Amino acid sequence: MAEAFPDIPKIAYEGPKSKNPLSFKHFNADEVVAGKKMRDHLRFGVAYWHTMRNTLSDPFGGGTAVRPWDDGTNSIENAQNRARICFEFMEKLGVDYYCFHDRDVAPECATLAESNKALDAVADVLEAEQQRTGKKLLWGTACLFAHARYCQGAATSPNAGVFAYAAAQVKKALEVTHRLGGEGYTFWGGREGYATLWNTNLKREMDHLAKFLHMAVAHKKAIGFKGPFYIEPKPREPSTHQYDSDAAACLNFLRQYDLMEHFKLNLETNHATLAGHSMRHEMEVAAAAGALGSIDANTGDELIGWDTDQFPTNIYLTTQIMLSLLNAGGFTTGGLNFDAKVRRESFEPVDLFHAHIGGMDAFARGLKIATAIIEDGRLDGFIKQRYSTFDSGIGAQIEKGEVGFAELEAYALKNGEPMLGSGRQEFLENLINEFI
C-alpha cells in the first residue's frame, strides 16, 4: 500500500524555539509533568468521523477535502484502506488513541445483517492495526443520527421499530468496541430530543431513553465489557431541544432513572458554550458528582452560534480545562478526543497535521501552566482562605450538620453583621496572567 502522507515525517518535539510547523513546540510525549508523562495526562484521541470522513461540506456547498487515498465509494475495501491510513496518521502524529462511530469506520449497507458484517470486516483491520502499532481505542459509539430512519429520534423515536433498530445497532457497536479493547463507550443523543412539542410526549420519550440505557447496561454486563458508559451533553443541533442538554441535566436524568453508577460524562467544549456555559463550568459540575469521564476537545467560534468543532488553540481555554482536570485527579479511562474538523478552506491532508499539532501543543501548554498554578499554590490558597469560616466554629458545625435554624438564629442575634472578604476577581485574573 502506498503511503498516504509521503512528504510528512514523524512529528517530533523540537521545543518552543523551533520554526518547523510540522513539529511540537510544547507536547513532548514522554516528558514528565506533575508526576506523569504528558501522553498519560493528555491521552489524545483522533476522531475518526472528522479526520477520516469529513468531506468539509456545509449547508451551502459540497465537500472540499482532498483525500487522495479515498476512492469515494462505500465499499468495504475503501473502508478498510481508510482504517489503515488512520493508523498511519496516528503513528506520524504520535497520538495514542482514536474514537469512532460504527458508520464512520464501516458503511451502512442495505440490511442490518450486511452492515454488521461490514463492521466486522473493518474491525478485523482495526484490530490488526492496533496490534501492529500499539494504538488504542478510547471509545466507540453508534451513529444514531445520520440515517433517515432516525430523523425523529432513535431511543426516543415515536416508532418502536426504530427503537429496536437503534438497540440492535448499539448492541453491535458495543460488541465491536469490546472486541477492540475500547476503554469506554459513548452515547451522544443528537436526535434524542424534539423539533416541536406539538407532536411530542416528552415524558414518554425520556422514559424510553432510560429503558434503552438500562438495556445497554444489561448487555454490557452480559458481554463482560468493563469500561464506563459516557453520556455526551449538547443542548441542541440537530434537534431543537436535546434531552441531554448539559451536564446538570444529564446528571439529573441519570439519577432520576437510577443510572448514575453506570455513566460518566463526555464533555465537549463547543457543546458547553452552546448550552450557555463555559467548559470549565461543565467540568466542575461533572467532577462534583464524580462523573467527569472524558473530553471532546474542540472549540466554537464566538461569532457563530453553532457547533463549529474547531481545533482548540486558545491557551486560556486549555489552561482552565487542565486545571479542572488535574484538580479532579486526571483521566482514568477518558482522554482528550479531538472532536474537531479542519476548516472548509483547509482542504489539504497536511492541514490535518497542522490542526492536531496545534491542539496538542495548546493542551501541553495548558497542562504545564495549570501545573505551575497548582505548584505555586496562591490560587488554591486564596480559595481555601475564602471559605475558612467553615473550617471551625459555627461554619464547621454547619458542615457537620450539628446545627439548625434555631441555633443559627441564636448565633446571628449574638454576633451581628458578618465580616465579608472581597472576592478579588481582578486580583485573581492578574494572578493567572502571570502564568500564561
Binding site for Ni ion (CB under 5 A): 268, 296, 307, 339
Q: Which of 26, 96, 102, 104 is an active site residue? A: 104
Residue of 202, 122, 216, 119 lying closest to 166 (CA atoms): 216
Size, binding site for ligand XLS by CB under 6 A? 11
Q: Shortest Cβ distance from residue 277 to ligand XLS (Å)? A: 15
Q: Which of 50, 101, 271, 277 is an active site residue? A: 101
Determine the straight-line distance between the first and last CA of the chain, rounded to whole angstroms.
45
When binding is defined by CB under 6 A, the residue of 212, 339, 362, 366 that contacts ligand XLS is 339
Residue of 84, 97, 67 lying closest to 360 (CA atoms): 97
Residue of 268, 263, 262, 251 lying closest to 336 (CA atoms): 268
C-alpha cell at position 137? 481505542
53 counts as binding ligand XLS under rule CB under 6 A: no
* Residue 30 known to be catalytic: no
Residue of 363, 288, 285, 372 lying closest to 322 (CA atoms): 363
Task: Find out whether the peptide bond into 9 is cis, omega within 30 degrees of 0.
Answer: no
Q: Is 300 or 349 the residue whose CB approaches Ni ion more closely?
A: 300
10 Å CB burial of residue 158 (0-12, 13-18, 19+) is middle
Each residue 16-45 as x (binds ligand XLS by CB under 6 A) or -, in order, gives ------------------------------
**Residue 23 in contact with residue 364, Cβ under 8 Å?**
no
**Nearest-angstrom CA–CA distance, 431 and 121:** 54
**Residue 432 in contact with residue 380, Cβ under 8 Å?**
no
Q: Nearest to ligand XLS by Cβ — which residue?
A: 188
Q: Shortest Cβ distance from residue 267 to Ni ion (Å)? A: 9
Q: Which amino acid is at 436?
A: I
Q: Shortest Cβ distance from residue 284 to ligand XLS (Å)? A: 20
When binding is defined by CB under 6 A, the residue of 232, 244, 284, 361 that contacts ligand XLS is 232
Q: Shortest Cβ distance from residue 373 to Ni ion (Å)? A: 27
When binding is defined by CB under 6 A, the residue of 24, 150, 188, 230 that contacts ligand XLS is 188
Q: Shortest Cβ distance from residue 382 to ligand XLS (Å)? A: 35
* Residue 277 known to be catalytic: no
The interface region with ligand XLS, picked from 2-10, 28-36, 182-190, 410-418 by CB under 6 A, is: 182-190
371 binds, among ligand XLS, Ni ion, none (CB under 5 to 8 A by kind): none
**Nearest-angstrom CA–CA distance, 139 and 228:** 9
Q: Shortest Cβ distance from residue 141 to ligand XLS (Å)? A: 5
296 counts as binding ligand XLS under rule CB under 6 A: yes
Q: Is 80 or 242 the residue whose CB approaches Ni ion more closely?
A: 242
Q: Provide DSSP, 257-307.
A: TT-GGGEEEEEEHHHHHHTTS-HHHHHHHHHHTT-EEEEE--B--TT--S-
User: Which residues of this chain interact with ligand XLS, rule CB under 6 A?
Assistant: 101, 141, 186, 188, 190, 232, 234, 268, 296, 307, 339
**Residue numbers annotated as active site:** 101, 104
